[in-house]
């Protein structure tokens, strides 16, 4: 049995995909299905009102937003000792840690892993083909998780480069907000392509400085997810950025991971002396520290240098 903690869009979609193949126990603090309306859960999926029921599972997927993960880990001590697969994309604002770092800190006896890569919850729930990265520092444990969590439509590729995989997923959301700003402000598709390219260079710079391999960033969890998120209307980060660029309001109840992560990586980049102008711009813009014209000017006035 696989346990899934968090019944938002992604947790519910994973329950649907994995429930087509075997037993799944799903817990959400507000019940299940609300964030993925119209989805029918397979018979194999049991929705429980008691989170501790998931303790019967040796593998638990943690499908809550990145900024909620530390609190969830602190609340549910029974998670320790299990294989814990973070299904979130972000850097924790309070600690600067990624999801697996949070797991290792709170649950030292757990096997930390992360599932990340280009995949919209609705696509997964519809059974459309999807390829993701499963990153686990312990390769044998990662191989077992890869087998357990792959289905015919949900194909998992494996890596031990946890830092690269989690930073790819976290940072692409920041670039997607910037890409949305470019489109919302009417700067055009060419400008978006330039921004994505520079954003990718930024992602690789920080990830390598923190010990990741550049090849990981070129894979599903980095380049793959960057392309998806910067170019699809389905992305909440992109839509949020587009609203910002157009001067339109955006529903604050919608999960937009890149906002907090931009702030967290700005601090990380400063600590490691890494140049991350896009992340700094997104953090300042979303905090209201600069205006949209100032943000655009900051991007256009970067010094001319070699590519």
Ligand X SMILES: O=C(CO)COP(=O)(O)O
- Compute how many other C-beta atoms are within 10 angstroms of the C-beta atom of residue 288: 7
> What is the Cα–Cα distance from 200 to 216, expressed in whole angstroms?
12
Considering only 28, 142, 219, 245, the residue that binds ligand NDP (CB under 6 A) is 28
120 binds ligand X (CB under 6 A): yes
Q: Which residue is nearest to ligand NDP (CB)?
A: 8
Is 172 known to be catalytic? Answer: yes
Q: Is there binding between residue 15 and ligand NDP (CB under 6 A)?
A: no
120 binds ligand NDP (CB under 6 A): yes
* Binding mask of the shown chain, residues 54 to 93, with x at each position contacting ligand NDP by CB under 6 A: ---------xxxx-x--xx--------------xxxx---
* Residue 119 annotated as part of some ligand binding site: yes
* Among 3, 10, 92, 110, contact with ligand NDP (rule: CB under 6 A): 10
262 binds ligand NDP (CB under 6 A): no
Which residues in 229-258 contact ligand X (CB under 6 A)?
229, 235-237, 257
Write down the least CB distance from residue 69 to ligand X, Å: 15
Under the rule (CB under 6 A), what is the footprint of ligand NDP? Answer: 6-11, 28-30, 35, 63-66, 68, 71-72, 87-90, 119-121, 255, 257
Residue numbers in the known binding site for substrate are 89, 236-237
Residue numbers in the known binding site for sn-glycerol 3-phosphate are 89, 117, 119, 172, 225, 235-237
């Amino acid at each position: 049995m696989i346990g899934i903690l968090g019944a938002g869009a992604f947790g519910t979609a994973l329950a649907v995909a994995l429930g087509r193949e075997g037993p799944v126990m799903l817990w959400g603090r507000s019940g299940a299905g609300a964030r993925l309306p119209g989805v029918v859960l397979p018979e194999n999926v049991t929705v429980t009102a008691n989170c501790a029921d998931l303790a019967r599972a040796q593998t638990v997927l943690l499908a809550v937003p990145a900024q909620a993960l530390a609190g969830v880990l602190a609340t549910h001590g029974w998670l320790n000792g299990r294989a814990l697969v973070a299904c979130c994309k972000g850097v924790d604002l309070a600690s600067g840690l990624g999801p697996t770092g949070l797991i290792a800190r709170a649950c030292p006896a757990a096997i930390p892993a992360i599932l990340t890569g280009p995949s919209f919850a609705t696509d997964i729930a519809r059974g459309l083909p999807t390829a993701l990265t499963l990153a686990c520092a312990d390769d044998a444990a990662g191989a077992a998780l890869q087998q357990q969590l792959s289905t015919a439509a949900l194909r998992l590729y494996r890596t031990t480069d946890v830092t690269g995989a989690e930073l790819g997923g976290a940072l692409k959301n920041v670039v997607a907000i910037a890409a949305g700003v470019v489109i919302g402000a009417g700067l055009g598709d060419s400008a978006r392509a330039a921004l994505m390219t520079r954003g990718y260079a930024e992602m690789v710079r920080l990830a390598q400085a923190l010990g990741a391999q550049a090849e990981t960033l070129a894979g599903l969890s980095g380049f793959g997810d960057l392309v998806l998120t910067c170019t699809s209307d389905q992305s909440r980060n992109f839509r949020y950025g587009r609203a910002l660029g157009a001067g339109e309001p955006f529903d604050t109840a919608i999960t937009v991971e890149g906002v907090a992560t931009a702030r967290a990586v700005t601090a990380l980049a400063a600590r490691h002396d890494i140049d991350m102008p896009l992340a700094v711009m997104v953090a300042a813009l979303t905090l209201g520290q600069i205006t949209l014209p100032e943000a655009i000017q900051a991007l256009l006035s970067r010094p001319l240098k070699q590519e």
